[in-house]
Amino acid sequence: MHVMNYPLFFTTIAITGILSACNQTGTTNKEAEKDTTAAAVTEKTYLSQPLVTNIYTADPSAHVFNGRIYVYPSHDTATGIPEDDLGSHFDMQDYHILSMDSVGAKVTDHGTALKITDVPWASRQLWAPDAAFANNKYYLYFPAKDSKGVFHIGVATSSKPEGPFTAAKTPIKGSYSIDPCVFRDDDGKYYMYFGGIWGGQLQRWNNNQYDSTKANRAGDEQAVLPRVARLTPDMMSFAEPVKEIKLLNEKGELYKEKDNSQRFFEAAWMHKYIGKYYFSYSTGDTHNLCYAIGESPYGPFTYKGVILKPVEGWTSHHSIIEQNGKWYLFYHDVQLSGKTFLRNVKVTELHYNPDGSIQTIDPAGKQ
């Protein structure tokens, strides 16, 4: 989750009003008033409405636990920190977990599930989390910066899906960057997908070694690749060294950084459909949610298309779940605030074509 000072994805704000002109003495100029016409009225349109309005939420990781949908979002707040390209102003302090019986049902905000002050190793910025269930307990995975300002991924546990969660004393060994997504395969093995460039620091990690001097890739350089690692049975650590995921274009080639309408930026998500692995992600500075398909949880994954066109706001981050035979896309925009750092979580139905491709969604509700 990252922001730059780019213009919002604007639709026109609804305006009405009659302009009056005044003469030099300050009296109303009736002739000018007669010639004034009302501005055109165009309503903003949205495909769906925010799940909650009492707090600002973003980066929704949704799961079905015990037949109920639980959403694990970031909790946006206005901290007063100036906006920059590294997302420093996203200084989240805690997590609130949401739940509902089904899409369209009443949404419950379960309150604070974990605070940064309860994470021994973390200094700031509780960014986009995810959750999993195994071993009769619930695991919350989250990125945060350590005392040196380097992102790592932590884990916390609870006996309930809504928490509260108790954080481990140290981050997961070998973890780095942001946006963890934990996926359970059909054989019961769990994998963590993660990474985000720019403020997410993924460009500083090569061969799992950190180099603070590494800058963003130049246009003709190979794009930074997302990461994956299988988890140990206790869900608390990696069972293997972190691997790069090959994300290929439709010609079977790795992307270059200049291919920013399709290359990986952040917000990895994995789900399975008709036996195929669907790796979806955000392109960041071009604001698309895209997907690629592979035959293995490790990839390679071949690009197939756009799931969600750019939302109102800068960032795009999502999750995909199935409940009762229907598939749903959870995402966010800035409908409530109009500010890139105060977002709100939404959901809409996801549709597949007979060949397994995903139908592209327009967040403005246009066909």
Which pLDDT score, from 0 to 100, does residue 84 have? 85
Predicted local distance difference test score (pLDDT) of residue 44: 84
pLDDT band at 20 (very low <50, low <70, confident <90, very high): very low
* Burial grade of 193 (CB within 10 A; 0-12, 13-18, 19 or more): buried
* Residue 367 confidence (pLDDT): 64
Both tokens assigned to 113: 């599930």
Residue 193 has which token pair?
Answer: 């997908």
Q: E-strand spans in 205-318?
A: 205-206, 209-210, 227-230, 243-244, 247-248, 266-273, 276-282, 289-294, 301-308
Assess contact for 154 and 102: CB atoms under 8 A: no
Could you tell me whether strands 68-76 and 94-100 are parallel, antiparallel, or unpaired per DSSP bridges? antiparallel
> What is the average pLDDT across 264-291?
98
Catalytic one among 59, 130, 162, 179?
59
- The whole-number pLDDT of residue 29 equals 38
The answer to the question of residue 127 being in a domain is yes
Phi (first) and psi of residue 223, to 5 degrees: -65, 150
Mean pLDDT of 318-330: 98
Whether 31 is a known active-site residue: answer no
75 in Cβ contact with 55 (< 8 Å): yes
Find the angle CA(276)-CA(194)-CA(186) to the nearest 5 degrees: 35
CA distance 200 to 223: 14
Question: Percent of the chain, pLDDT > 70?
Answer: 88
How far is residue 329's CA from residue 60's CA, in Å, rounded to a whole number?
10
Which long-range CB contacts under 8 A does 270-278 form with residues at least 24 apart? 270/181, 270/183, 270/191, 270/193, 270/297, 271/183, 271/320, 271/321, 271/322, 272/185, 272/186, 273/327, 273/352, 273/356, 274/356, 276/356, 277/301, 278/320, 278/358
When pLDDT is averaged across residues 253-275 and rounded to a whole number, the result is: 98
- The active-site residue, picked from 130, 162, 179, 266, is 266
> CA–CA separation, 72 vs 128, rounded Å?
8
Structural domain for 148, as ranges: 46-350
In a domain, 291, yes or no: yes
Pairing of strands 209-210, 56-65: unpaired
Residue count of the chain, please give it. Answer: 367
Could you give the 3-state DSSP secondary structure of residue 352?
A: strand
Amino acid residing at 174? G
Q: Is the four-CA dihedral 285, 289, 294, 297 of positive or negative sign?
A: positive
> Tokens for 66?
């015990």
Encode pLDDT of 84-110 as tens digits.
888 888 999 999 999 999 999 999 999
For 51, phi and psi rounded to 5 degrees?
Answer: -70, -40
Give residues with Cβ within 8 angstroms of 67, minimum separation 6. 101
* Domain assignment present for 85: yes
Residue 104, both tokens: 């369209």
With a pLDDT cut of 90, the percent of the chain lying above it is 84
pLDDT over 80 (residue 183): yes
pLDDT digits (tens, 9 = 90+) for 205-240: 999 999 999 999 999 999 999 999 999 999 999 999
> Quick one: how far is CA 241 from the chain centroid?
25
What are the pLDDT digits (tens) for 34-58?
Answer: 333 333 334 689 999 999 999 999 9
Query: For 338-361, what is the mean pLDDT?
Result: 97
Indicate whether 7 belongs to any domain: no
Instruction: Report if residue 315 sits inside a domain.
Output: yes
- Whether 21 shows a pLDDT value over 80: the answer reads no
Any domain includes 1 = no
> How far is residue 62 CA from its own chain's centroid?
11
Active site residue 35: no
Mean pLDDT of the 322-350 span: 97
Q: How many domains does the chain have?
A: 1
Q: Do residues 152 and 144 touch, judged by C-beta distance below 8 A?
A: yes
Q: What is the CATH number of the domain that holds 146?
A: 2.115.10.20
- The structure tokens 């909650």 sit at 52
pTM above 0.85, yes or no: yes
Is position 147 within any domain?
Answer: yes
Average pLDDT, the chain: 90
The closest alpha carbon to 87, from 26, 151, 131, belongs to 151
Q: Which residues contact 264 (CB under 8 A, 6 or more apart)?
A: 195, 197, 223, 224, 225, 226, 247, 255, 281, 283
CA–CA separation, 173 vs 156, rounded Å? Answer: 14
Kindly state whether residue 35 falls inside one of the protein's structural domains: no
- In this structure, how many other beta carbons lie within 10 angstroms of the beta carbon of residue 107? 19
- Out of 69-83, 122-136, 142-156, 260-274, least confident range: 69-83
Q: What is the pLDDT of residue 85?
A: 84
Would you say 326 and 309 are in contact if contact means Cβ atoms under 8 Å apart? no
Nearest to 297 by CA among 197, 189, 225: 189
